[in-house]
Amino acid sequence: MGSAILQRDPKIVDDPWAFRPERFMAEAVQARKNDPLKSLLDHKLIEKPFSFGARMCLGARLAEMEMMILISQKHGGKIT
Ligand code: HEM
48 is in an annotated binding site: no
pLDDT band for 1, please (50, 70, 90 cuts): low
Ligand 1 mean position, distance from CA 4 (Å): 13
Q: How far is the CA of 2 from the centre of ligand 1 (A)?
A: 9
d(CA 43, CA 32): 12
| Alpha carbon distance 29, 69 (integer Å) | 37
Cα separation, 29 vs 21, in Å, equals: 12
Q: What is the pLDDT of residues 6-40, one digit of tens each?
A: 899 999 999 999 999 999 999 999 999 999 999 99
- In this structure, the residue with its CA closest to atom 11 of ligand 1 is 57
Backbone angles phi, psi at 60, to 5 degrees: -55, -50
- Best-predicted range by mean pLDDT among 3-7, 11-15, 49-53? 11-15
pLDDT category of residue 79 using cuts at 50, 70 and 90: low
The secondary structure of 21-59 as a DSSP string is GGGGSHHHHHHTTT-TTGGGGG-TTTT-TT--STTS-TT
